[in-house]
Amino acid sequence: MRGFVAGMALALAPWVVSGCSTPSASDSVQGHLGLVVTQVGADSAWAPSQDPSKRYPIGSRIVYVRSNGAAEDVRLLSGALAAAGSPAISPRGDAAIFAGRADADGRWSIYKTSLERGRPRRLVEFSGDCIDPAYLTPQRIVLSCRTSSLEDWQLYTAAPDGSNLRRISFGIGAATGPAALTDGRIIFSQAERRATGPGSEERVALYTLNPDGTLLEPFSGSHDPGAARLQPREGDGVVFVVASRPSTGWSGLERIEMGRPQSGRVELEFPLRPLSVEASSDGELLVAAESRVPDQVGRRTAGIYRWIPGGGEPSPIFDTTDWAETEVRAVSTGLDRASRNLPSSIDPSRSVGTLVCYDANRSDGEVGPKRDSAVLTKIAIEGATRTGRSASAIELSRHAVESDGSFALEVPADTPVRLRSLDSDGAVIATSSWFWVRPGEVRACFGCHEDRESAPVNRPVEALAKYAQALSDAQGTSR
Amino acid sequence: MKNRGKGRSVGQSVLSALLVLAIGAPAAWFGAKSLVGIHIESKTGRPAEKVVACWYCHGEVAPAPRRDVADSSAYISPAGLAVTSGGERLLVVGETGDVLLVVDPATGSVVRRVDLPGAPHDVATSADGSTVAVALRDADRVVLLDGETFEVRGELPAGREPLGVRFVPSTGQILVANGGSRDVMALTADGGQVRRWGAGTEPYAVAVSGDSQVAAVANRRALLRPEPLLPATELTLVDLVGGRVDDRRLLMSSHLVEGVALSSDGSFALVPALRVRNYLPTTQVARGALMTASLVFVETAPGGRTVYFPLDETNAYYADPSDVVLTPDDRLAFVSHGGANAVSVVDVGALKNRVESSSAQELEALAEDLGAFAEYVVARIPTRDNPRALAVSPDGSQVFVAERLSDSVAVIDTERLEIVQRITLGDAEPDATRRGEIVFHDASGTFQGQFSCRSCHPDGHTDGLNWDFEIDGIGLHRLETRSLLGVRGTAPFKWNGKNPDLATQCGPRFARVLTRAEPFAEEDLADLVTYIQSLPLPAPRPVDPQLEDAVERGRELFFRTTTNSGVEIPLGDRCDTCHRPPLYTHRLKTDVHSGGSFDTPHLLGVADSAPYLHDGRAASLEEIWTVFNPDDTHGVTNDLTKVQLNELILFLRSL
């Protein structure tokens, strides 16, 4: 062990101070200050990925590092688990939840343990794998699960004791790495696969979602083929994310402005290869990062750094010889940045949702319909059929588009669907990404591939007068 | 045997009693219900849609009090600011404190206090500093004070509800924006009325260009425009030299326009506005779906452009933009956000560059671009509760911010762009009503802080707009916002009459269908209800003595039981059956064939709450009967002569 870098307690001051703002929780903060870190054996092969087996090879573990910098103050949290990762700290700062597997071939499950004592206990009963837990509020956690390795990771929410598990995402492609935003939404990484044509390379973009699974919205990166954005974390008015481009081996740290998430994304000049990031309320970052050069014996090395964007070299605060530190979470109460508890707007008694488009001709022109090149007359709605990990589209129905570009239709709930805009000859003008609606959800689209930083235009909408067109026979031909 | 027989007898009795209860109680309940239903029908002339408890109609209900000139409270509520010409004194008028406070900005201390009953709302100083004018909202007057001693020198009659006041530098004339009478007056200090121009809906603020050529009047609420026209607020541009209204510029989809600033040469005006999306259903709040804050750049020359610059961000909103000031060099604009507790600082040069460098199509797209703020918003300065009125020091080094619900004034250094001083005006501890007022004005209770209660209910009143609430089906029943003034005792609430009390109206369901955010905390909700119940009715409209007889004849028509030809009017078709005094509502739902059965609104202060009917289809009281009552389904009125209808309306306007 290279040992702790002196001054770690000072380094963590911003996280501690913010936590101390809640008097009722201050005792637990005083007692639990430190870091929770994922360690991967220095000789292991590992890579940032949505796939937990790549992120957390056998032998990976979770440790709690107290702040006084003494070696004996590292406590193993993942016990005898064969592999563990993706830790999250409870809002009171007294416990951690994380993903782990009991043996090399076992399923990934969610575990919880006190930071100070006891062994991890399994939290969620699920027939498949579960990873990436995060606290939404003290009353609710979010996680990512899949029923088998052939299925995509989907988001679920649960009570903090693991009960009351509810699925909230229904997309095509893996949904992983959820985190709470202070406004109450969830931000997460969604893999998208485009079948053919320009931009067909897989991308992992950031999306937001309400905790009840409604209001899926692209946040950033959905127009960046070949790029992956993982582990988003909210800072003060910004989101930090680890970005990579697997085909070139590039990775970097990005800052995305909440105020303009599509256009306000910048790559930070972080000199190391970032693996995970945590933001404090005063702009400091804790970054788990890999050195861009191997150590003397040719092994990859990674440690925990404190860094102020634009503030020079990152300061190492925790680094060990035998382990690569690949993820870091700061222990604080978290209550100073508590997420809002958003109400649910779904109606479980319904099997459909409603989709209202105000103007399908409104587009930023990148791939959407262009009014001058083709006249949009119909909308086809397509569902997905799955064969293993591949999905093919089936047309469910076609609907007329009103003269003002609007349409309103009912969509089967809790299943992936996408839209195709068609001209008068039935030729496809544009195809949307896969999305879903929840039962009873009324989803409004302001345009078709319109600028996602734009508000809707106030005007009478023809389709609203013809609201509640029933979804016609869900028959179609496989594409 | 005896005992067994007795036991059997007791058991039989109990069984019988249970049977009687099991059969009799529901029967009695249904019987009582039908009796109540019959009773209601006998009193309303229409089948009862809902059975209500006896107290519902027979309990004692006192209408809410009226706004009163004599009212003042423990709180100051700074509503208007002005700085004397040399910058030595900051003048603050307290609307609920009925006071003018003279503050030494160097020390932050109040050096003089002048009682001014009548809800002082705005204050201005003459160019030479000799005179101070204060608009008294509830007293329909402008008070003139000496600019050095601050002694009251006299008062001028204004229109109804004067809200804004400014001096014309070159002439010394006083311009007054009268919110109630919807006009602007030019007065001389000796009481002469030079001009009176009609304005938009609720003229609220006046600005005069430094060269005294142009005046701009911000009108707070949207004009009454029939659908499918977009709502629009008028910016009234007055040619002060020619003495005429030069332009009535429409600010499209705009509402809550409470401030205006003119550049020193009068070539452009800046107007904060809340831009509404009321034609779209309330399916979500995110991405500015309901309303956004904008700063409107208006070229004042005839045919000049009107450009909307959003002040919000894609994931953060700056609700309820209120006032705006320009630094004397026209370099920076400061905009207060009453619902966001913040002041935005805008680079005016960036606005001009954008206007000059963009095509008309690009400027149109800009209006909805929530990422555009980064081009021109240079700072956001957090404040205390409900920042509203602003004033800039003559040298441009400081901007003063009236923190209305904190009873304080924040002082912003215009170089550092931060608050450098806070002037405390009052220290009264907020009671439940005041705490509720703060909740009412604070947008943090809505998703990403996009709007507050006040956004649709300015001063508790109505925005006069129709909204398409998702909950009853999108595209159906676009409902007019109902005024909250005098709402106490008028339960149930909502147009469908489903909410029995205000706590329900503003409770978790409200969060689910409208604010899309965490419901109000229990104690905040209780305070909010207390505040809403405290909202007074509008001040009574004085009746012209010459019209008193006509009002009386209107009253007789309201309570009449026979038509002009002597035919008895069915009970259900008489005005006072459904609009029963003292609230002028029987609080039940009624179908007047306007498109459904709706809660019967009360009529107190009805003259101020246009438009009318559940979807606001009637722009005036007259239209209710001349346009939308062809079959006498909303009271028998078609036999009335034109004069009689006018008299009926005069009576209603007196309520």
Query: Using omega within 30 degrees of 0 as the cis cutoff, is the peptide bond preceding B540 cis?
Result: no
Mean pLDDT of A27-36: 54
ipTM of the complex: 0.90
Give the mean pLDDT of chain A.
85
Buried b or exposed e, range A308-345, using 16+ CB within 10 angstroms: ebeeeebebbbbbeebbbbbbbbbbbbbebbbbbbbbb
Look at residue B590 and tell me whether its pLDDT is greater than 60: yes
Q: What is the pLDDT of residue B305?
A: 97
A171 confidence band (pLDDT: 50, 70, 90): very high
* pTM of the complete model: 0.91
Burial class (CB in 10 A: 0-12, 13-18, 19+), A104: exposed
User: Which percentage of chain B shows pLDDT scores above 90?
Assistant: 77
Please tell me what DSSP assigns to residue B519.
P
Check pLDDT > 50 for residue A445.
yes
Hey, of A354, A362, A464, A466, which one would you mutate to test binding to chain B, going by the most B CBs within 10 A of its CB?
A464
Query: Between B53 and B178, whose confidence is greater?
Result: B178
Higher pLDDT, B509 or A216: A216
User: Strands B141-146 and B152-157: what pairing?
Assistant: antiparallel
pLDDT tens-digit series, residues A104-124: 999 999 999 999 999 999 999
Nearest to B292 among A345, A408, A455 (CB): A455
Contact A217 B473 (CB under 8 A): no
Kindly identify which residue of chain B lies nearest to residue A236, measuring between CA atoms. Answer: B316
The confidence score (pLDDT) of residue A14 equals: 46
Work out how many CB contacts closer than 8 A connect A with B. Answer: 132
Query: Does B283 touch chain A if contact means CB atoms closer than 8 Å?
Result: yes
pLDDT tens digits along B552-578 = 999 999 999 999 999 999 999 999 999
Instruction: Report pLDDT for A70.
Output: 53
The answer to whether the Cβ–Cβ distance between B281 and A184 falls below 8 Å is no
Q: What is the mean pLDDT of residues B481-493?
A: 90
- Cβ distance of A456 and B287 shorter than 8 Å: yes
Q: How far is B471 from chain A (nearest CA, A)?
A: 10
Q: Is A341 in contact with B313 (Cβ distance < 8 A)?
A: no
Q: How confident is the model at residue A264 (pLDDT cuts 50, 70, 90)?
A: very high
β-bridge partners, B178 = B162, B183
pLDDT of residue A448: 85
Q: What is the pLDDT of residues B33-44, one digit of tens each?
A: 678 888 888 888
Residue A377 confidence (pLDDT) above 80 = yes
Residues in A closer than 8 angstroms to B282, CB to CB, are none
Average pLDDT of the residues in A137-158 = 94
pLDDT at B121: 98
pLDDT band at A10 (very low <50, low <70, confident <90, very high): very low
3-state secondary structure A117-156: CCCCEECCCCCCEEEEEEEEECCEEEEEEECCCCCCCEEE
> What does the pLDDT read at residue B271?
98
Q: Is B374 on the interface with A (CB under 8 A)?
A: yes
What's residue A25's pLDDT? 28
The B residues from 216 to 235 touching A (CB cutoff 8 Å) are 227-228, 230
Residue count (chain B): 655
Phi and psi of B494, rounded to 5°?
Answer: 75, 155
Residue type, B2: K
pLDDT grade for B63, boundaries at 50, 70 and 90: confident
B positions 523-562 inside 8 Å of A (CB): none
Whole-number pLDDT of residue A373: 59
Judged by DSSP in three states, B248 sits in strand
Choosing among B287, B467, B513, B522, which should be mutated to test the A contact, i.e. which has the most A CBs within 10 A? B287
Is A63's pLDDT higher than 80?
A: yes
Task: Tell me the C-alpha to C-alpha distance, in Å, between residue B182 and each of A473, B40, B621.
Answer: 56, 42, 17
pLDDT digits (tens, 9 = 90+) for B121-142: 999 999 999 999 999 999 999 9
Residue B194 in contact with partner chain A when CB distance is under 8 A: no
Determine which of A350, A458, A467 to mutate to test the interface with B (most B C-beta atoms within 10 Å).
Answer: A458
d(CA A399, CA A421): 10
CA–CA dist B142, B158 (Å, integer): 6
Mean predicted confidence (pLDDT) in B417-422: 98
Residue partners of A308: CB distance under 8 A and separation at least 6: A283, A284, A285
Tens of pLDDT, residues A68-109: 655 558 999 999 999 999 999 999 899 999 999 999 999 999
Mind telling me how many Å the CA of B507 is from chain A's nearest CA?
12
For residue B227, which residues of chain A lie inside 8 Å, CB to CB? Answer: 460
Which residues in chain A have their CB less than 8 angstroms from residue B314's CB? 258-262, 452-453
The total of other beta-carbon atoms located within 10 Å of residue A475's CB is: 9
More reliable by pLDDT, B617 or B298: B298
The percent of residues above 70 in pLDDT, for chain A, comes to: 84
Mutate to test the interface with A, among B255, B312, B313, B315 (most CBs of A within 10 A): B315
For residue A5, what pLDDT is reported? 42
Share of residues in chain A with pLDDT > 90 (%): 61
SS3 A400: strand
Q: Can you tell me the distance from the alpha carbon of B75 to that of B55, in angstroms, rounded to the nearest whole number?
A: 36
Does the pLDDT value for residue A26 go beyond 80? Answer: no
Q: Which two tokens stand for residue B150?
A: 């601050």
